[in-house]
Amino acid sequence: MAQESQHMQPGSAPAQAFGFATRAVHAGEEVDLREGATGEVVAAIHLATTYARRKVAEPGRYEYVRLQNPTREALELKLASLENAQYGLAFSSGLAAETTLLLALLKAGDHIVAFDDLYGGTRRLFEQIFANFGIEASYVDATNAQLVENALKPATKMVWIESPTNPLLKLADIRAIAEITRRRGVALVVDNTFLSPCLQRPLDLGADVVVHSLTKYLGGHSDVLGGALLLNDKQLYERLQFNQNSTGAVLPPFDSYLTLRGLKTLALRMEQHGKNALAVARYLEKHPRVSRVLYPGLESHPQHALAKAQASGFGGVLSFDVKGTVADAENFLERLRLFTLAESLGGVESLIELPAQMTHVSVEKAEREKIGITDTLIRVSVGIEDVSDLIADLEQALG
């Protein structure tokens, strides 16, 4: 079913005429004031798995929950509006979204060029799953767009980047890479999880598909697992929708509802995440026990100017190295009282982890070290708590 996300309410102005925060609250959840309608201001949780039809040959708007569900549809319309996309699909996880996209665009013998600093789960998907089906991936430092172009082969069908990257907070010049991929007839996929559409919209910069882990900032409360794909190509959308239905990788109604609820405060949350992260990064940059701080909002970040040019904020994730050994890093992490030692990111609470032993343990040690993920690198997802409390916790743990 093709989606139309052009109106906030029947007869109102086009959705894109409204600001981001307004669309985060209202898009996809238009109030129905027709005779006999409930007038509810929040999208309902529709739990039905199947839908009746009046005639055998004439299904209604909905047929079966795997095909579409009213709650999931509301979420997909909201996500599309926020990313300035024509179409959106919500999946059972970010990796389910990625898998569905790869199945739709690639076949045996095809090649992917990917950022060398990449979420460990994505890299595992490329190397340990899709490699078994004859799909090759190679990795380059995509901070240099020319290196991306140099890595393209006749068999290359996709360029896959994160910006900022996980966990080294590197940036890719999305517009420059999009010009290359468009010229060479290659699809550009951008994982926009770290900044969210609140701060960066890759489709506007020339990307073909945007990937999100809904589990992170879009859900925002560490209580939902999900993924999304956003795009403007109708044919690709229909192919993705067919693959999603065929594999069953759909987001359930209750998870769709939780994500819809989280999105309403996305603009407010991202503002506070960014303020807190910048304050924490500046504190860490001056601490004698810290050797390196990676955060695009710092003037010391080598791509600070690019961060300001292609995004409207710097996000809530930063990484830093503690001086010493891995034992020193572990001791610091286990002394924290307010930061929670856990994987994931993007929730209202502050999370902290050791990528080499947690989120990126599936990446070979030699490869981690090659791209700059040391054994003492610590990744922080800065929450929305009082920043003075966060800094005090870091102070006592660093000693």
Q: Are 279 and 388 in contact (CB under 8 A)?
A: no
pLDDT band at 262 (very low <50, low <70, confident <90, very high): very high
The gap from C-alpha 164 to its chain's centroid, in whole angstroms, comes to: 10
Verify whether residue 32 is a known catalytic residue. no
- Is residue 15 scored above 60 in pLDDT? no
Q: What pLDDT score was predicted for residue 364? A: 86
Q: What is the pLDDT of residues 93-141, one digit of tens each?
A: 999 999 999 999 999 999 999 999 999 899 999 999 999 999 999 999 9
Q: Exposed, middle or buried, 331 (CB in 10 Å: 0-12/13-18/19+)? A: middle
Q: What pLDDT score was predicted for residue 7? A: 37
* C-alpha neighbours within 13 Å on the C-beta side of residue 17: 7
Complete DSSP assignment for 347-363: SSS-EEE-GGGTTTTTS
Q: What is the pLDDT of residues 44-79, one digit of tens each?
A: 999 999 999 999 999 999 999 999 999 999 999 999
Q: What pLDDT score was predicted for residue 16? A: 60
Strands 209-213 and 187-191: parallel
Q: What pLDDT score was predicted for residue 1? A: 39
How far apart are the C-alpha atoms of 56 and 62, rounded to whole Å?
14
Verify whether residue 119 is a known catalytic residue. yes
**Mean of all residue pLDDT scores within the chain:** 94
Q: Which of 110, 191, 255, 321 is catalytic?
A: 191
Q: At how many degrees (to 10) do helices 94-105 and 234-247 cross? A: 120
- Is residue 200 scored above 90 in pLDDT? yes
Q: Which of 119, 139, 217, 295 is catalytic?
A: 119
Verify whether residue 393 is a known catalytic residue. no
What is the DSSP-derived secondary structure letter of residue 64? B
Triad 118, 119, 122: Cα angle to 5°? 95
Q: Which of 51, 66, 175, 375 is catalytic?
A: 66
- Is residue 5 scored above 80 in pLDDT? no
Q: What pLDDT score was predicted for residue 12? A: 35
* Ramachandran angles phi, psi of 51, nearest 5°: -135, 135
pLDDT band at 359 (very low <50, low <70, confident <90, very high): confident
Q: What is the pLDDT of residues 138-176, one digit of tens each?
A: 999 999 999 999 999 999 999 999 999 999 999 999 999
Verify whether residue 386 is a known catalytic residue. no
The gap from C-alpha 218 to its chain's centroid, in whole angstroms, comes to: 8
How far apart are the C-alpha atoms of 5 and 74, rounded to whole Å?
10
Q: Which of 216, 269, 368, 379 is catalytic?
A: 216
Sorted by where each starts, the structural domains of the chain and their CATH numbers stand as: 15-263 (3.40.640.10), 266-398 (3.90.1150.10)
Q: What is the average pLDDT across 272-289?
A: 98
* Ramachandran angles phi, psi of 95, nearest 5°: -70, -30
pTM score of the predicted model? 0.94
Q: What is the average pLDDT across 14-26?
A: 85
pLDDT band at 14 (very low <50, low <70, confident <90, very high): very low
